[in-house]
Structure 1
């Protein structure tokens, strides 16, 4: 992500500054037993500083082997300090040869993997630093540096993770804004054309009757779906869908859809299965109630459940008809409605009064 760029540049600056600091310490202190080995360590640090600065600037190279090599290089330079310092190790005012340079891989791990990775890298480097101090029994053990390393990994990792999340949200906002602009453009382009043609086909089809009426009904459904598409709906979390969006597509001159003003958010597969069950119920209304039959779909939520009812003004279902249909192998209600809802852990109740229509109520846990 682009937000990582400033972090890597800041770590590169820290590497260079720490390298300069370690070089100055090396030049000032004259008590090292192996100064040539010390300058060799400084040379390795300089080469790795240049290489790491370039490598971390290339996004394709920022994979786990790079910070792993970074950490191993810092540990090698750190653990070489006793051989450079000799008897002078642990003397007052002395630091390991790399000095603060060893904190760079901790920061790199924090930016790469978050606070957990940064904490782990900090513990590894801190353990190496403490091991050097434990080797000198006459020198008091100072844990300030170790604590600071671990804290740096935690804090920088946490901040880097928050920055990545903020960038992701901003990108999502840009995408939503672009989608809304495109939706508005489409709405302007098709409102005076396609929608009016569909509405005209719907009206003429109802007047003509017969097959034209069915064509008009289909045109009405497509008009409703297209209006919903271009009008736009609130974005939903990934893997979730507003049930109202799916139910609205079943609306037509003969089907009235009533939904709450607030979203009915369900897992996408659950919402689709529930909408399919409602569609099967409406298909039964068209098949058994005759032309001109009206249907009403009501969706609501409460007490941890989502309830959708489908009511029609048809002749009703005769007593025993559902059992008879199931016995004859016609499984429309049994499979398309009861089966779908049972798989979702819900319940279906059917109330039918002769001459007064039928109501199918579907209840699912929200």
Structure 2
């Protein structure tokens, strides 16, 4: 049954809104500087049209960046080029002499907006490249003045800081998304546990109680019902996962515990990647199934989990009658691939190995899954 998970909006949306607000505030600052300094410009009559172009482009980018589909290199590059053009035309409108004496360009703080946009879209590297391009333009028109150097350094710092903030925000968003998915899966698990408890578990418990004192097949069915009740109860009440993408092997194997199967494991969890944990648990289940099928009723089995630095080892031992030397080869020749595929095949596909030891006192299957390269 699929679980609907509500996904939060893009975590970078507030940053794009902040860039739009910054661009508008910077444009107002530019307008104030133009009004104060226009009398000293070489061509004051052209300051108005340039300011109109800046205002129009601010409106265009504010609406364009509001749509996530537009936040791509074509718009970012156009934003960079338009801003650099406004910055470059300052050399003609303001004049070289006025720029050398410290008069501000027609872009000033407004020129930082494309740098911030590149940093949000492409990270620190993209923002730094955009800052260097904008800074080089500023240095060229202002004849390498101290103001141009200072502005370039500030843009580089802003690009680095915003790019780092973007990475942190995306990582936090990914963790939040995993937490939401885990919460939804846990709620679904609890719902299924309630439904199973109200139906299947009660039926299994009733069959066990009614048939506990009976002999023959009825008693055997009662015993099997009791074992399945224990296994199913452990499955629906156990914790879901150890960490992001991992499952606790101990939790999976505890579902096999019953009146005839004992599970011994470390006190803490044994986290493995989800696929590996499920496959290893399935191999253990196949080994226990062989015990139930081919050993006398009441045969005891023990599952031992060892979490070593280099590998995870699971041993399945029983006190049955053992396996004849040629029995496995004969079964595989007949197409019965319980050990060959369900046990050895699963572990081998994970890069592990299987060792089987059998004798009159019982059988032991050892499953070893190395940790190297995980």
The interval holding the TM-score normalised by the smaller chain is 0.7 to 0.9
Contact 2:192 2:236 in 1 (8 A): no
Contact 1:244 1:264 in 2 (8 A): yes
Name the Cα RMSD after superposition.
3.1
1:145-201 deviation per Cα after TM superposition (whole angstroms, max 9, x unaligned)? 111111100112212332343344345445545555565566556545542222223
- SS, match of residue 236 in structure 1: coil
Does residue 147 in structure 1 map to residue 153 in structure 2? yes
Distance 1:331 1:167 in 2: 46
Contact 1:202 1:216 in 2 (8 A): yes
Give the equivalent residue in structure 1 for 2:240. 233
Higher mean C-alpha displacement, 90-99 vs 316-325? 316-325
* TM-score using structure 2 length: 0.82
Give the equivalent residue in structure 2 for 1:364. 369
Alignment of 1:198-277 (within 5 A): 198-204=204-210, 207=214, 209-210=216-217, 213=220, 217=224, 220-221=227-228, 224-238=231-245, 240-277=246-283
Does residue 339 in structure 1 map to residue 345 in structure 2? yes
Distance 2:194 2:23 in 1: 56
Distance 1:268 1:179 in 2: 14
- SS, match of residue 260 in structure 1: coil
Does residue 22 in structure 1 map to residue 30 in structure 2? yes
* TM-score using structure 1 length: 0.84
Contact 1:221 1:249 in 2 (8 A): no
- SS, match of residue 266 in structure 1: strand
Relative to 1, partners in 2 of residues 1:279 and 1:121: Cα closer, same or farther, differing over 3 Å? same
Higher mean C-alpha displacement, 114-123 vs 95-104? 114-123
In structure 2, stretches of 5+ residues that fail to align are 1-8
Give the equivalent residue in structure 2 for 1:131. 140
Q: 1:37 aligns with which of 37, 46, 56?
A: 46
Contact 1:315 1:357 in 2 (8 A): yes
Count of residues paired in the alignment: 361
Give the equivalent residue in structure 2 for 1:160. 166
Contact 2:118 2:126 in 1 (8 A): yes
Contact 2:209 2:222 in 1 (8 A): no
Q: 1:293 aligns with which of 292, 299, 322?
A: 299
Higher mean C-alpha displacement, 144-153 vs 66-75? 66-75
1:307-351 deviation per Cα after TM superposition (whole angstroms, max 9, x unaligned)? 101111111123444455556665432333223323322222222
Distance 1:37 1:31 in 2: 13
Give the equivalent residue in structure 2 for 1:90. 99
Higher mean C-alpha displacement, 294-303 vs 115-124? 115-124
- SS, match of residue 296 in structure 1: strand
Relative to 1, partners in 2 of residues 1:184 and 1:241: Cα closer, same or farther, differing over 3 Å? closer
- SS, match of residue 245 in structure 1: helix
Relative to 1, partners in 2 of residues 1:330 and 1:195: Cα closer, same or farther, differing over 3 Å? closer
Give the equivalent residue in structure 1 for 2:123. 114
